[in-house]
Structure 1
């Protein structure tokens, strides 16, 4: 060989040796040696892409190497530039580097992010030639980088499922892929079906698939698949799997899928195997989030089961709760605490639940610990504690939670989640109320645009049920008025298909309970109610709530009349049936709106008659009172007469009701004042001998209907004039765009007045507002003289009092 060629060959050999040596050092060097190798690589004029990719990936990923941030940035920048111009990259280089970078988590540096984007850009062209292992590695890397779903992800999953086929993957690889996809949040088209099919073939061919593989696939399907795919997988699970060798964690994950995806219930053997895996030592060793999911899933399944079927999930909750307490298991995240307290409350037994709650909230009671909860999580725990009457058992937690909500009402963002949380807490505080509710009302008014209509309506209902709030709304509670206006504005702008029956029923009921009449809002409720009635999506409870709410506020618009007429037609057609507890409100609405139909009236009475004795005493009295008033209307205005069957049924109950209610004396200071002033007027009138009687029953024409007072002719005993002394509770406030603009008689007072006048009686109604304005006795005397004269049909006061 010539000297020149020998020198060239030797130089080339040394260069290859240096290259191989550098590549080896990049892979194996530790600490400072790696930094030196990286610097050498960066200074090289002929560095190849694979070396730069390897160095960049290792520099970013490793936590044991000493690599300066500047070197990392330079490596990523150089590798990224080479990616833009290189055409001879291999899938192994691209996927390997992507996996290295992914092991460090989501990239934060600009250069690293640019490098990742460059690597991702090369993937689509390489996917067809990738091995299944490389595809799995790429999918796992994209998941670790928290990459959103993209065409590249879809391409990788499609190619893996179709070209290679999931059946060619080992059980371990299939489980690993399932876990990756389950935690990614990706919704890939077609892949869940392929995954389910491959798993099902493995199950049905009786391969010895390990429990963790079954668990990984079923859990992944629960996360990413459509309901139909999940249901089929769960049926296969019920019929073909033996859960004997499954761990508590694996069974809990499978139970989560059953609970979260609905219609298929777990096989009994799953419950029994799950129960057999619960122990104190097991709870101590188990992941805390897994325990929380198990409580939640068991709680959900107990509610889906009917009757005796709920015994197994409830027993599981009890056993888990006992094990947690006995093992002093703590350290749960707030979300798990929320699930566990809620589920434990379902299981029943008071002392067990109390013991569990005291334990689980023991290290979650300080303001700092409570502050780690999300608003909905804390609301769930607090409302459960309130419902169980355990506030005194966990005083520190209760105090911290109340303080949390007071502060949150001042600072929390106007989100739907916060709206649901504040509503849940308010519901839990009915009927006691509290300063938190005042703060929540202010928050809802300020943030009405950001919360759901449902939360606004539920908040309004809870406020109407709280002591001390409904009573102060007659023109005096500006915050309640503002809340009604805010809720009304959102409700009016909502489309009917976005509302459910509870929204409509609670809105109307709340307005009636708060005694706030909003014409347009009540009309909107009527319109929604008509549509829901036509579409058969409103039940007895919510339709009766709607009817009571609008008629209680004397809403008698054409839409209200249309609604009650449709209800009557539905009753006659049998397309809706009312529960006994709701019937009286429907009868009352027919009377208040003066829409009579004998067939519907008798049908409703028969339902009430059949179920009246099963109602709790309070609801029984309320129902009979409403039904009796409706009966008086039907009899006096429309000639209704009880049949022989009804006489021995509902008629006797109504008669008993009116006797007991008629025995109640309701004299008040206002009524006494008016009667005394009226007596002075009569002494100077043309009726000086007339008597004034209080609490007069209008039998026999209107038995059980009692008026506050009556002027009676002592000679004949006839009632010359009936007197109603109308205090604030006889009225509702009328709400306009600027607030309360007027007031009007409520439905009860208006119906009573109509019945009295239709029976031929003369009636004088003394309004409290007018009376209070007249402070001087002489002015009150003149006012009463004029009103009595007009009521009796006399031309002037002088005709009543000539002298």
Structure 2
């Protein structure tokens, strides 16, 4: 049969001589048919007559094979199953559409798979049932081939009693593992994983068997790759196996026998399984960097490798540079699917590897796409997060994704973490897109249950709205209600970000800050320098006093972090100290730190705007002789100070940064309150939107100021 070069000739010969065929002949037929089918491609038969004739012949041969397979030997059963599985694999490449009409692919698809995959259970179910009585007679190689065949066909035959064929095969395989060679083990483990039929006992026994071997010199690179991929994909832990295989690979003189796919699968497996082995990662990295070029590395391999190194926190700058240089040198990136793009960009950002041209090229490609519907929420979140966290600015990319999200009918496909990462990225990058923020807020508000939003997501989302200056009162109240019930679940960073955000947007909910006080008290010692000042400042803005919250422990943490405080943190701490003065409490920072905070607070030099100059000019015109940029005793600077009927009044010229949707920010509220309470100077605000409405009419501007100051 090996001499036949066409399927038509092979089928004709087998059909004519079927009665004389032995089980070995029949099993050989299916093996050779699979090879000829692969060479044939999807070409149809020459005539309809030939097509009908071949269909009848193959159907007869199949029925005869399955009808007599109970009398086949272990080798013949396994060979037959493997041949049919390879055919199923080939005809399955037409998923989503039918094989070409009149082709052997179509005939075999109808025979072995079925229009609705209804034939595959009958074919492989028959093979399974027939093999069970003789499984004890199977040699290791044939048992492995039988398992591999079912895995290749992606089918799990079910047996009575709730068990599957794979359950029975596992028991038999465990008893014969000492007879399995490297290929047998590789194929068997791959098959179990490929159909999702992981078996804990089998994987443990197989792993133990490999670990017990004196050396692994007989394992080919592809076999090592399949084994590691199988354990990682199935989620089967076996640290000693991972160590054994990694040590073996590291000890090899070179890795020239490892294909890019094998390299990719192995390093992906170690990262996915959470198995660390720095020398293995270094060995692979050095090998790849030393290659003359990367033309054999498909986009998926590039994606898997960069993702794996990043996820394992293995930083190898030369490897990342090599990959980036290769990608940007490509004529186009059409071979990279959305998942590959997402993983690569995320990986570079996650390990802090900057490569502006890579980020620029990928962003330009995405922007140039007419349709980006192939980018799912996770891919968008990963990409936007990467650009934001690395500081790689690309406004058109941010706009492209934002417009896409806003245009979606709904966001039900987005997970809380994806929403959190996306909205955080826009705020962190300073990319304004009010409709995007509103879209996300409206979606979250409409949800009946926010249990899927963990404290990190809650704090990141609120932080994003506060940072971007986007208001959504209903969303804020919903988050308040959730956070109050779950405040003990928040860690130090989440507490600090959450409270800072609400204070920043001027949402000083008394119940919220009171409820979080016990949590703050419990984590005081865990706060870093930024967290301690953010929390202190937030409570100062909220003006919620809780007995013993800011006691000696808080002061001790401040002293401990003294050298870590930046200028902004010192300024916040100064405002917290002013709050203690407002409360008339006896809590004081040490004199040296107090002085340091005050110096930082007053050190910012004023930079008057044209808006401010205009207001000052009109104040002068109405005879008030305003003092400009007045430094008060508390340390605040007032844009102007005037005297009206013997009483000093501060005037603040408030631009957009002082408001969130025309409501004062937390900083604005705190300044007005503390200047009034401590410096005894009432503050009058001149909002930009009110001033600009007056246009160039100086008379109206003067009248506006006189009214605001009570002069009319």
**1:419 and 2:373 correspond:** no
With structure 1 as the length reference, what TM-score do the two structures score?
0.72
Is contact 1:697-1:707 (8 Å) kept?
A: yes
How far is 1:731 from its partner? Answer: 0.6
Q: Secondary structure at the match of 2:636?
A: strand
Which consecutive residues of structure 2, in runs of 5 or more, have no partner in the other structure?
Answer: 92-104
Residue of structure 2 equivalent to 1:628: 574
How far is 1:498 from its partner? Answer: 2.1
Which consecutive residues of structure 1, in runs of 5 or more, have no partner in the other structure?
Answer: 1-26, 244-249, 252-269, 306-311, 471-479, 684-689, 734-742, 791-796, 798-803
How far is 1:168 from its partner? Answer: 2.9
**1:77 and 2:59 correspond:** yes
Residue of structure 1 equivalent to 2:85: 102
Equivalent of residue 434 in structure 2, options 476, 481, 499: 481
How far is 1:320 from its partner? Answer: 4.0
Aligned runs of 1:72-151 on 2, under 5 Å? 72-80=54-62, 86=67, 89-92=70-73, 95-106=78-89, 107=91, 108=105, 109-114=109-114, 116-131=120-135, 132-133=138-139, 135-147=143-155
Residue of structure 1 equivalent to 2:334: 371
Task: Give the Cα separation in 2 of the matches to 1:88 and 1:621.
Answer: 82
Aligned runs of 1:61-460 on 2, under 5 Å? 61-63=34-36, 70-80=52-62, 86=67, 89-92=70-73, 95-106=78-89, 107=91, 108=105, 109-114=109-114, 116-131=120-135, 132-133=138-139, 135-147=143-155, 155-162=164-171, 164=172, 166-172=174-180, 176-183=184-191, 184-188=193-197, 191-197=199-205, 200=208, 212=219, 219=228, 222-223=231-232, 230=237, 233-235=238-240, 250-251=245-246, 270=247, 274-277=249-252, 282-293=254-265, 313=278, 317-318=281-282, 320-330=284-294, 331-341=296-306, 353=317, 356-357=319-320, 359-365=322-328, 368-382=331-345, 387-391=352-356, 395=357, 397=358, 400-408=361-369, 410-428=371-389, 430=391, 432-447=393-408, 448-460=411-423
Task: Give the Cα separation in 2 of the matches to 1:381 and 1:45.
Answer: 55
Task: Give the Cα separation in 2 of the matches to 1:724 and 1:37.
Answer: 94
Equivalent of residue 702 in structure 2, options 769, 781, 786: 781
Residue-by-residue CA offset, 1:320-359 (whole Å, 9 max, x unaligned): 434433341521122332354567786668xxx35x4554
Residue-by-residue CA offset, 1:88-110 (whole Å, 9 max, x unaligned): 84354665433222233523421
Is contact 1:94-1:122 (8 Å) kept?
A: no
Residue of structure 2 equivalent to 1:747: 666
Residue of structure 2 equivalent to 1:679: 620
**1:515 and 2:524 correspond:** no
Equivalent of residue 532 in structure 2, options 575, 583, 600: 583
Residue of structure 2 equivalent to 1:650: 593
Task: Give the length in aligned residue pairs.
Answer: 661
Equivalent of residue 642 in structure 2, options 690, 711, 716: 711
Task: Give the Cα separation in 1 of the matches to 2:272 and 2:535.
Answer: 35
How far is 1:546 from its partner? Answer: 1.1
Is contact 2:500-2:534 (8 Å) kept?
A: yes
Is contact 2:524-2:532 (8 Å) kept?
A: no
With structure 2 as the length reference, what TM-score do the two structures score?
0.81
Change (3 A) 1:600 1:431: farther
Task: Give the Cα separation in 1 of the matches to 2:321 and 2:519.
Answer: 51
Residue of structure 1 equivalent to 2:606: 665
Task: Give the Cα separation in 1 of the matches to 2:340 and 2:594.
Answer: 51
How far is 1:639 from its partner? Answer: 0.6
Task: Give the Cα separation in 1 of the matches to 2:170 and 2:342.
Answer: 44
Residue-by-residue CA offset, 1:250-277 (whole Å, 9 max, x unaligned): 53xxxxxxxxxxxxxxxxxx3xx65443
How far is 1:634 from its partner? Answer: 2.4
Task: Give the Cα separation in 2 of the matches to 1:440 and 1:781.
Answer: 47
Task: Give the Cα separation in 2 of the matches to 1:35 and 1:571.
Answer: 80
Larger radius of gyration: 1
Is contact 2:427-2:468 (8 Å) kept?
A: yes
